[in-house]
Amino acid sequence: MVKTMKSEIDYNDAVSVIKQAVVKSRLRALQAGNAELLSLYYGIGKYISENTRNGVWGTDAIRQISNKLQKELPGLRGFSESNIKNMREFYEEWSPYVNRQPLADDVDIDAKYLLAEIRQPSAGDLDWKDFLSIGFSHHMEILSKVKDLDARIFYIRECAKHAWNKYALREYIKSGLYNGTELLPNNFNNAIDDVQFAMKATKTFKDNYLLDFINIENLGESDKDIDERVLENQIVKNIKDFILRFGTDFIFIGNQYRLEIEGEEMFIDLLFFNREINSLVAVELKAGKFKASYLGQLNTYLSVLDDKIRKPHENPSIGLILCKDMNRSFVDYVIRDYEKPLGVATYKTSKEMSEDLLNALPPVNELKKLLDNTGDGKDLQGEI
């Protein structure tokens, strides 16, 4: 009987502590927004974990705490039994990689303890701003469905970049978007002397791009040259949407970009400049499966770009074949001996994407607003 009363006292104390943290957090959340909420949940998750994993509290503790919180703070949302367990998981999964402000060893467990600030994560290439910019439900979607740390970092970054809602994120995870994203078939390490530049270039490109804004019913049924021109026109028409899918820091220079060398003309399908890698990027569009001959053509384009167009302070130009399909092993074999940095990626259009994924994608107008708000829209001023 005494033991039951002790448990009841412990739970009342826990409810009081969490209630104070919630009230104070609401005030701070007006200024700090999502970051404050994540910090609160992380702190509560730590508190719950430390008391439930070592037998301090009974097996029914989380349910009782949840019920009491609902009574103490009527209308409180987000503190169901299942969501408090999610907070515990959020803490336990990220605590090995997240630093918190140090607290004195003898500090009392109170609201201040739960609201201690989360510091910059130490996990790989995880960007702190990205981590704090996505919602708790997004974090839990990633934690519950993705176990690899690098994959989790990838989905956090992409979710923050594209402002995916939870359902779009779920579909992208289900479709295996991450798989091979940093395994773009390329020769960067062999063709680029600067190791850091080679690594940045590898991370700049993905091996597959979802061009969901392109909806061409008959693509693939006509002459491939016509298909490629139609595909190019669709991309140029929707260039902001393409850049959103293509990556950050890209400036669109133009399509059918004319080069001339020794009296011979040649035209690059799409030409970009990337500020992060400080390099011109030539993209060749192919409606069908990859062919080895594509690399020779693109290698020549890069030679002319470097000789005639590239500025002295810029890095060597990079070429990307964007095709419908490829045999990855074959690409890895034939690309290795080229002297210019080349990569090969594939794409999917809306025609090949599931209806669920299409419905979950953010509306195009919202993506355009996002692009404008981040300032990337200014990149399009380089279009000619």
* Residue 119 covered by a domain: no
| 314 in the same domain as 248 | yes
Closest CA to 335 of 322, 323, 321, 325: 321
| 238 in the same domain as 166 | no
| Residues of the domain holding 165 | 128-174
* Residue 183 covered by a domain: no
Per-residue pLDDT, averaged over 123-131, amounts to 73
* Residue 93 covered by a domain: yes
212 versus 49: the higher-pLDDT residue is 49
pTM over 0.85: no
Query: What pLDDT is stored for residue 202 in this prediction?
Result: 82
Contact 357, 171 (CB under 8 A): yes
Residue 94 burial class via C-beta count within 10 angstroms: exposed 0-12, middle 13-18, buried 19 and up: buried
* Residue 342 covered by a domain: yes
Query: What pLDDT is stored for residue 315 in this prediction?
Result: 96
Least confident of 131-135, 161-165, 321-325: 161-165
How far apart are alpha carbons 286 and 227 in whole angstroms? 8
Locate 312 and state its tokens.
Answer: 């002295």
pLDDT band of 381, cuts 50, 70, 90:
very low
Per-residue pLDDT, averaged over 82-96, amounts to 93
Whether residue 258 is predicted with pLDDT greater than 60 in this model: the reply is yes
How far apart are alpha carbons 360 and 355 in whole angstroms? 9
| 9 in the same domain as 36 | yes
| 314 in the same domain as 259 | yes
Closest CA to 90 of 128, 141, 51: 141
* Residue 213 covered by a domain: yes
For residues 285-314, one letter each, b for 16 or more C-beta atoms within 10 angstroms of the residue's C-beta and e for the rest, the string is: bbbeebeeebbeebbbbbebbeeebbeeee
| 195 in the same domain as 170 | no
* Residue 120 covered by a domain: no
Return the percent helix, strand and coil in the chain, to nearest 5: 55, 15, 30
| 220 in the same domain as 150 | no
Per-residue pLDDT, averaged over 293-318, amounts to 96
Tally of domains in the chain: 3
| 267 in the same domain as 307 | yes
* Residue 122 covered by a domain: no
| 347 in the same domain as 238 | yes
C-alpha pair distances (Å), 370 with each of 274, 286, 307, 339, 367: 19, 29, 37, 38, 5
Domain harbouring 361, CATH code = 3.40.1350.10
pLDDT above 70: percentage of residues in the chain:
73
| 109 in the same domain as 231 | no
Which DSSP category does 306 fall into? I
Closest CA to 138 of 121, 158, 120: 158
| 55 in the same domain as 150 | no
* Residue 298 covered by a domain: yes
| 164 in the same domain as 192 | no
